[in-house]
Amino acid sequence: MHTFNRNPGAAKVRRRNLSRHEQPAPFPMNRPALYFDHAATTPLRPEALDAMRPHLGGVFGNPSSAHRWGRQARAALDEARAECARAVGAEPAEIAFVRGGTEADNMAVLGRAAVALAAGERPRTVATTIEHPAVREACDEVAARGGESVQVEVDRVGELDEDALAGALSRGACVLSVMWVNNEVGTVLPVERVAGRARAAGVVVHSDAVQAVGKVPVDFGRAGLDLASMTAHKIGGPRGVGLLYRRRGVELAPLLFGGGQERRLRPGTEDVAGAVGLAKALTLAVAEQAAEAERLAAERDRLQTAIVDALPATRVFGAEGERAPHLLNLGFPGLDAATLVMAFDLAGVAVSGGSACASGSTTTSPVLRALYGDGAEGLASVRFSLGRTTTSAEVSEAARRTVEIVTRASALVGAGAV
């Protein structure tokens, strides 16, 4: 059941790639580089690096060892776990350190499916149509192995199709996954309300909070979540480490075997340095969240206004409802997203054509198709994402270069982006 218009009458715009001879002339490379891809990854915070340094050298023990070197590493790991728990509204025993958001999402979905199988049930997952590929493809894998995957549509303001959600919950499921903030357009979903409905129906609820932590207020316990995922490198922490929140008492089967680490959810010697860096970055991101959200939203809106005023044919994706402060997704008619992102790179501006985990794809994003239907066709979607290091001067310059890039590209292909 649809709760929004699909805009079936939207005009189709012819689009073609530029040939090698039609590529825009290189932009001067003496201009400062502008990084507007913080949703893909962020620079490591100096505070996180400083916290990690001892564990990259002198403090090298295995946390599972009983000797003093091991106990020293275990103490650091335990303190990092406690810091993370305080930051996200959890108990230390509810935090498992993992490799990142993608692994945590897979552990939540596939781990719950394994629980259903062990109970002799056919696993059934429910997720929204705008989930990150880590959730969407994990649900597809459950279906490919003989289970069932159900999708619930989301409208442009972030509301789930109530009838579809009620029907899905009434039939039961091993897990319901609802992301907190969409990684492409920034739409904020009503996680707490949906979690309440899932819990009332006896369904375990998971949320991918990767783009939410540090950008909107996040409290896993207060939200009523059973499982939640986040990663360090989106908030100024190191790559290759994240956490999975599992509410006390929620049954979850491991995907890997061979050790009892992380309460048997994630066996293998723990990355103490990574956990310490995650804890420091997470603590700072949560402490700064309110002030940073206000600043980033103002800069994001200023960037949006400057571009749309100069290029009135631009489509703004995700602005219909509550939107995370750091994300801006714009659609430019008649252009190719991959080519346009390359043009931005040549101009010294880092942007994305969508989810960094789906890079290389030249088709319309499944998220944009789910939210806008035919209204997303014929538009080159470019995601700008701001972060802690983004300055007002960089926003002004990014707007100016964007207008220049799109105007030149449109002139070459005869598109209507200007």
**Sequence-distant (≥ 6) Cβ neighbours of residue 397 within 8 angstroms:** 31, 32, 34
Tell the residue number behind the tokens 């103002």, with chain if given: 298
pLDDT of residue 12: 41
Backbone angles phi, psi at 233, to 5 degrees: -75, -5
Q: Which long-range contacts (CB under 8 A, 24 or more apart) does 255-261 make?
A: 255/106, 255/107, 255/110, 255/111, 255/114, 259/64, 261/63, 261/64
For residue 324, give both structure tokens.
């995370």
Residue 63, beta-bridge partner list: none
What type of residue is 307?
Answer: I
Assigned CATH for 46-285: 3.40.640.10
pLDDT of residue 378: 79
- Over the chain, what HEC string results? CCCCCCCCCCCCCCCCCCCHHHCCCCCCCCCCCEECECCCCCCCCHHHHHHHHHHHCCCCCCCCCCCHHHHHHHHHHHHHHHHHHHHHCCCHHHEEEECCHHHHHHHHHHHHHHHHHHCCCCCEEEEECCCCHHHHHHHHHHHHCCCEEEEECECCCCCECHHHHHHHHHCCCCEEECCCECCCCCEECCHHHHHHHHHHCCCCEEEECCCCECCECCCHHHHCCCEEEEECCCCCCCCCCEEEEECCCCCCCCCCCCCCCHHHCCCCCCCHHHHHHHHHHHHHHHHHHHHHHHHHHHHHHHHHHHHHHHCCCCEEECCCCCECCCEEEEEEECCCHHHHHHHHHHCCEECECCCHHHCCCCCCCHHHHHHHHHHHCCEEEEEEECCCCCCHHHHHHHHHHHHHHHHHHHHHHCCCCC
Contact between 279 and 83 under an 8 Å Cβ cutoff? The reply is yes
| Average pLDDT by stretches of 10, the chain with 418 residues | 36 46 54 95 98 95 96 98 99 98 99 98 98 98 98 95 94 97 97 97 98 98 98 99 98 96 95 98 99 99 99 96 98 92 96 63 79 86 98 99 96 70
Interhelix angle 272-310/392-413, rounded to 10 degrees, is 60
Interhelix angle 101-118/133-144, rounded to 10 degrees, is 30
Contact between 231 and 210 under an 8 Å Cβ cutoff? The reply is yes
Q: Which of 206, 124, 120, 130 is nearest to 161 (CA)?
A: 130
Torsion angle (degrees, nearest 10) of CA 26, 29, 31, 32: 120
pLDDT of residue 26: 53
Backbone angles phi, psi at 239, to 5 degrees: -80, 155
First to last CA, the chain: 36
pLDDT of residue 19: 53
User: Catalytic one among 84, 139, 174, 357?
Assistant: 357
Domain ranges of the chain: 28-43+288-413, 46-285
Assigned CATH for 28-43+288-413: 3.90.1150.10
pLDDT of residue 62: 95
Determine how β-strand 349-350 pairs with β-strand 34-35: parallel
Specify whether 357 is catalytic. Answer: yes
